[in-house]
């Protein structure tokens, strides 16, 4: 496994930079509708770039794994738009970049990011692939609770019923479990020294986006 482009002495500057960029993305989302159209997709891509900069340089199997997660999750959005399953009756907004066919090109990041940012962290709790996959599914579920709640506001996903359905959260959990399990079966590593801090930054940003309108309404 090749060493990362940025080694551990850059961890703190990297985490601080990611936190500042995330804070700016949240700020513009809450204050400027026109600017947020650009910050939302850039925010997702930058978090992915931060992961790549601090991760061990991926081998061929790990590159295929990332493509697999991105492609399958994008496919799930295609199926959901056509059939209403397994995420419920949804339509995808314009904030996830230009469309390729029926889905925005960045929609796959909504699954890929939480999977990548939590993949190696699960080994701190267990060496069992089943336990690790379960923990991975739970991490993705926690992220999805706030992501789905914010999705209409962010113009990511809109549910025809007006709110995320229970089926959506179940699908996010099962998807997270299966993606983690597949990666463990493929024996990918996906080690990144700041992966879990990036996950916490991403999660905290969504928590703020969820809470801020409630505080304003109060």
**29-42 pLDDT tens trace:** 888 765 555 567 78
pLDDT single digits (tens) 81-138: 888 788 888 888 888 888 887 788 889 999 999 999 999 999 999 999 999 999 999 9
pLDDT tens digits, one per residue of 200-215: 999 999 999 888 766 6
Lowest average pLDDT, out of 9-23, 71-85, 171-185, goes to 71-85
In sequence order, which residues have a C-beta less than 8 Å from that of residue 97 and are 6 or more positions away?
41, 104, 105, 106
Q: Cis omega before residue 86 (within 30°)?
A: yes
Taking phi first (over 0 means left), then psi (-120 to 50 degrees means alpha), and beta for anything else, what does residue 96 get?
A: alpha
| Bridge pairing between strands 157-159 and 99-100 | unpaired
Strand extents, DSSP E, the chain: 90-92, 99-100, 103-104, 157-159
Whole-number pLDDT of residue 88? 81
Q: Is this structure's pTM higher than 0.75?
A: yes
Block residue for tokens 């990362």: 4
């Amino acid at each position: 496994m090749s060493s990362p482009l940025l080694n551990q002495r850059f961890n703190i500057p990297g985490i601080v930079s990611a936190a500042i960029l995330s804070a700016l993305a949240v700020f513009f989302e809450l204050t400027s509708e026109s600017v947020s159209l650009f910050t939302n997709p850039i925010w997702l891509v930058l978090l992915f770039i931060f992961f790549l900069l601090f991760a061990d340089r991926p081998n061929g199997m790990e590159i295929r794994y990332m493509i697999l997660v991105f492609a399958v999750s994008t496919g799930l959005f295609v199926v959901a738009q056509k059939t209403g399953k397994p995420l419920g009756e949804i339509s995808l907004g314009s904030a996830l970049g230009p469309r390729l066919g029926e889905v925005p090109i960045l929609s796959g990041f909504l699954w890929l990011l939480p999977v990548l940012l939590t993949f190696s962290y699960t080994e701190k709790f267990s060496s069992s692939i089943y336990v690790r996959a379960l923990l991975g599914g739970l991490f993705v579920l926690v992220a999805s609770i706030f992501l789905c709640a914010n999705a209409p506001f962010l113009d990511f996903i809109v549910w025809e019923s007006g709110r995320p359905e229970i089926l959506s959260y179940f699908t996010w959990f099962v998807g997270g479990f299966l993606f983690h399990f597949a990666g463990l079966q493929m024996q990918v590593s996906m080690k990144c020294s700041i992966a879990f801090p990036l996950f916490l930054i991403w999660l905290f940003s969504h928590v703020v986006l969820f809470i801020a309108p409630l505080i304003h309404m109060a």
